[in-house]
Amino acid sequence: MDTIQKLQLLSEASQYDLACACGTNDTDRRKRGKNGSWLYPVSLPQGGYSVIFKTLMSNSCINDCKYCPYRIDSDVRRCTIGSDEVVGTFLEYYRQKKVFGLFLSSGVISNPDKTMELLNDTAGLLRKKHNFRGYIHLKIIPGASDAAIEEAVNLASAVSINIETPGIRSFGKLTAKKNYMNDIIAPLKLISRLTQKHSRYQRVKKTTQFIVGASDETDAEIVRYTAGMYKKLNLNRVYFSSYQRGLGDSNIPGEERKYIRKEDGFLREHRLYQVDFLLRKYGFIESDFVFDEQGHLFLDDDPKNVWAKRHPEFFPVNINHAGKYALLRVPGIGPQTARMILEIRKEGKIRKIDGLPLKGKRLEKAQSYIAF
């Protein structure tokens, strides 16, 4: 295959990894470039969106991850692309201002360090030969050595390693080759130490991703791990990817639950993203979330509404006296609205409902939980 054919195949294979913050709605969804490769919109720190060039270096893999369509026993077309090919294509896009950065991942070609060498060599070529100072996100390969991980952290703007499941038990149902503590948790902890505040790598962002629904994990377990990683490992983001039935081995729990509709899987993913946002932006803690008897979030209502209904003693919240985090407990009020309310209060009291910077369904949600 030529470079274009390889990129078409490898960028298609990279779609299952969301940890580069790809778009999730119609305004920022991924799109194909002229060569068939996928381009992913991402939020910029200064506001707005740009596009990231995303590909695997190889879809060959020695691992047996049973949820993955590119596991070792899958009968799929395989290829590996060279560093020069990726760099040349990326720089062509970059010079035309069609992308602002690069996301590199890979299947495990022969061993983790050999694969990390390919990823690091590609990033190193950009940094050292082409003097590229822009955004590079490198995927850390499970089982990679400490030295390979530190080199990636040194070269990258962001790194990620997928935690996959919350704990050894559910992880063991998806792979027999990888070791959860050594190959996943130890690298996560190392990345956290390398990028801690006041370290030389503190600028490097770090993310991870759960594969939701491939194993038999509960939402309560995922939420506990998510809250713990934000607190103990200082991650910047946690992502959730709903397992798509039919892609994996027929014997994993995600394939056995035939009664679960595909749309329920995506709704479960959506609820977990709502929890993540409440943890990061709203001041919620793990114990705030309510689960059903099976340990799952309620699909028919969002976690913030569920909390509000379970805590009538907290309401009504006085719009003129409540602090930021009390306002954020009100259904319909988000971080931007809370800031606007606090600004309006500097000019005087808010005396009635139409004085709020809210309208439509969000206003309907809020009005039974507030007082003036």
Whole-number pLDDT of residue 165: 98
Check whether residue 245 and residue 359 sit in a common domain: no
Distance of alpha carbon 239 from alpha carbon 244, whole angstroms: 16
Examine residue 289 and state whether it is found in any structural domain, yes or no. Answer: no
For residues 116 and 193, membership in a common domain is answered with yes
Q: Evaluate whether residue 58 is within a structural domain.
A: yes
pTM: 0.90
On the question of pLDDT at 18 being above 80, the answer is no
Neighbours of 350 (CB within 10 A): 18
**Nearest alpha-carbon partner for 279 in 291, 267, 270, 287:** 287
- pLDDT of 209 strictly over 50: yes
Domain co-membership, 223 together with 315:
no
**Is pLDDT at 108 greater than 90 in this prediction?**
yes
pLDDT of residue 253: 92
Is 290 inside a domain boundary?
no
| pLDDT (average), residues 18-42 | 52
In the predicted structure, residue 166 carries a pLDDT above the cut 80 = yes
Find the range with the poorest average confidence among 8-17, 20-29, 112-121: 20-29
**Is 70 inside a domain boundary?**
yes
Lowest mean pLDDT among 30-39, 240-249, 285-294: 30-39
Based on the fold, state whether residues 246 and 319 are members of the same structural domain: no
Strands (E), 71-171: 101-105, 135-139, 158-160
In the predicted structure, residue 326 carries a pLDDT above the cut 90: yes
Number of domains in the chain: 2
Residue 360: exposure state from Cβ atoms within 10 A (0-12, 13-18, ≥19)? exposed
DSSP string, 134-161: SEEEEEPPTT--HHHHHHHHHH-SEEE-
Answer whether residue 151 is part of any domain: yes
Q: Give residue 26's pLDDT band: very low, low, confident or very high (50, 70, 90).
A: very low
Opening angle at CA 112, ends 205 and 150, nearest 5: 40
> CATH number, domain at 131?
3.20.20.70
pLDDT tens, residue by residue, 41-94:
555 555 556 678 888 999 999 999 999 989 999 898 999 999 999 999 999 989
Is there a domain that residue 69 lies in? yes
328 plus 245 within the same structural domain: no
Rounded to whole angstroms, how far apart are CA atoms 12 and 51? 16
pLDDT band at 292 (very low <50, low <70, confident <90, very high): very high
Q: How many CA atoms lie within 13 A of 272 on its CB side?
A: 30
pLDDT for 31 beyond 70: no
What pLDDT, on the 0 to 100 scale, is given for residue 85? 94
pLDDT in tens, 221-233: 999 999 999 999 9
Domain of residue 247, residue span = 3-257
Examine the domain organization and report whether 331 and 245 are in the same domain.
no
Residue 100's pLDDT is what? 87
38 pLDDT above the threshold of 80: no
Residue 292 domain-assigned? no
